[in-house]
Amino acid sequence: MSWNPASWRDRPAVQLPTYPDADALATVESCLASAAPLTSMSDSRRLTETLAEVAEGRAFLLQGGDCAETFAEFGADKVRVTFDLLLEMAAMIRAAGAGPVVKVARIAGQFAKPRSSDSETLDGVTLPAYRGDIINGPAFDVASRAPDPMRMLEAHRQSGVTIDLLQAFASAAYADLNDIHRAARQRLGIRVDQAPAQSEPDRARVYTSHEALLLPYEQALTRRDAESGQYWSTSAHMLWLGERTRQLDGAHVEYASGIANTIGLKCGPTLEPDELLRLAEKLDPDNRPGKLVLIGRFGAGAAGERLSALMRATRRAGLKAIWSIDPMHGNTVTVAGRKTRFVKDIAAEIGSFFATARAEGVHPGGVHLELTGAHVTECLGGSLPVAEEDLGQNYLTHCDPRLNQAQAIDVAAEVARLVMEGTRIASDAA
C-alpha cells in the first residue's frame, strides 16, 4: 500500500491519548489541516542540505531546548534566551574547529511527552498521566488531565509566534555574529587570528524540531509539494522518533517514513544493530546525506559498548546517517525526591561518544541537549555548581531536568575541547 499522511492509522500506535470527544477531535484536525503551515518546505529542504555537510564530516549539529514547552511559560523573553544560548554554544564549538554548526532548537512544537504509564495515582486517586500541554494539563484534577483536542490549536498558535520571534532574533543577531564568535574564542583561549572564516551555514538561523509524538497533529500539518509530489511536515523543520515510538511496524515509524523532512531516531540500549539497519532502510531508503540523524541515548556507563556495535553496523552498511548523542535521558537519577542529572555524567557520555565514534571511524556529528537559558536549579554540578540542597530553589520543569545557562556553556566548552582534541589527533596522524 502506498504511503499517505493517514496511513499510520492502520498501524499499531503507542503513546497516543484517547480523546473522549471524537467529534471535537475531528473538528480540530480539520481546522489544522486548513491552517497556515508553521514552516516552509524550502527551509526544511535547506536544513537537510545543510545537514549533509554534517554527514560528510565537515560540520556539526547542535540541537537543544526545553524538555517540554508549556503554554504558561510562553513569551518572547523565553524564546530570546534560548536563541541567544544556542548561538553562544554554537560559536564555541565552531571556534574549536568543528566547522559550521547547524543550530536546531527543541522549540515551536515540543509540547508533547511520552510517559512510562498511562495513568498516575496520588492519594488513592488515579487520573490520566500528564502528556504535555498539547494534550492535557499538569494539575492533578479530572478536568486538567482529560485529553482536550482544542489544546492543539493553542500549540499551533504559540508555535507560529515562536517561529516569527526566532526569525526576528536571527535578523537582529546577524550584525552581532562577529562579536559573539570573538567572545567564544576568548572563552576558549583561542587567538583571534586563528578564527575560521564565516560561511553561510554559520549565520544566526535557528531551525525548529520536536518529537513526532501526537500523530493527529502531525498528520493535519502535513502538506504535499505539488511540484515534486513529496510530502512535508510543516509543524517543524525536523522531527524525531523517541525510544518508545520507534517500533518498525508502528504508527510513528510509518508516519515518519513518508515525509521528506530530516528525521531523527533515538537509539537506546535496547536497540539491536539489525533493527537499526531495518529502521534506517524504512526512514531513509535512498541513504541521502542529511536525511537521517541517529541520536544515541545510553547513560554515561553504558554508552561505549552498545554504541560501538551500532556505529560499526552503520559504517559497514555504508549508511550516510549523522551520529549525534543525547547525554541527558540515560543519566536521569532521583535525588531528594526530584529527578535530576549530574553535569559530570552528561560530559562523560559526550566524551564516550566522541571516543567511540573515532574508534569506529564515524564522525561524531552532534549533541542533543535539554537546556534552558533560564537560571534553573534542575541539574547538579557545573562551574557555578548547583548542589543537592539547591534543587528546590528554582526547579521549574514539568517533565525532565534541564541544564541551566551556565551548565549548558560548560557542556559546550567540553564539546569544544573534544573537537580540538580530535583535530590534534588527526593532525598527528597525518
Q: What is the pLDDT of residues 303-317, one digit of tens each?
A: 778 899 999 999 999
Mapped onto helix, strand or coil, the DSSP state of residue 36 is coil
Where does residue 60 rank: exposed (0-12), middle (13-18), buried (19+ CB within 10 A)?
A: buried
Say if residue 3's pLDDT is above 90.
yes
Question: How confident is the model over 280-287, as a mean pLDDT?
Answer: 98
User: 34-43, 184-193, 272-281, 320-329: which range is least confident on average?
Assistant: 184-193
C-alpha cell at 231: 510530502
Q: If you average pLDDT over every residue of the chain, what do you get?
A: 94
| Structure confidence at residue 198 as a pLDDT band (50, 70, 90) | very low
Torsion on CA atoms 384, 82, 336, 388, rounded to nearest 10: 0
Say if residue 345's pLDDT is above 60.
yes
Say if residue 194's pLDDT is above 60.
no
C-alpha cell at 344: 559530570
DSSP state of 90: H
Say if residue 10's pLDDT is above 90.
yes
Start-to-end CA span in the chain (Å): 51
Question: How confident is the model over 29-36, as a mean pLDDT?
Answer: 98
| Structure confidence at residue 341 as a pLDDT band (50, 70, 90) | very high
Question: How confident is the model over 155-181, as a mean pLDDT?
Answer: 91
User: 47-61, 132-146, 168-182, 394-408: which range is least confident on average?
Assistant: 168-182
Say if residues 38 and 108 touch (Cβ distance below 8 Å). Answer: yes
Question: How confident is the model over 351-356, as a mean pLDDT?
Answer: 96
pLDDT on residue 322: 98
Name 344's Cβ contacts closer than 8 Å, sequence gap at least 6: 381
| Structure confidence at residue 423 as a pLDDT band (50, 70, 90) | confident
**Listed residue (181, 215, 236) closest to 9, CA to CA:** 215
| Structure confidence at residue 200 as a pLDDT band (50, 70, 90) | very low
The pLDDT tens digits of the residues spanning 214-270 come to 999 999 999 999 999 999 999 999 999 999 999 999 999 999 999 999 999 999 999
Q: Would the CA dihedral through 122, 124, 129, 134 be positive or negative?
A: negative
Cα dist. 399→72, 113, 181, 235 in Å? 14, 8, 33, 22
pLDDT on residue 426: 66
**Listed residue (264, 333, 223, 283) closest to 104, CA to CA:** 264
Task: Tell me the C-alpha distance between 68 and 171, whole Å.
Answer: 26
Total-model pTM: 0.96
| Structure confidence at residue 425 as a pLDDT band (50, 70, 90) | confident
pLDDT on residue 422: 84
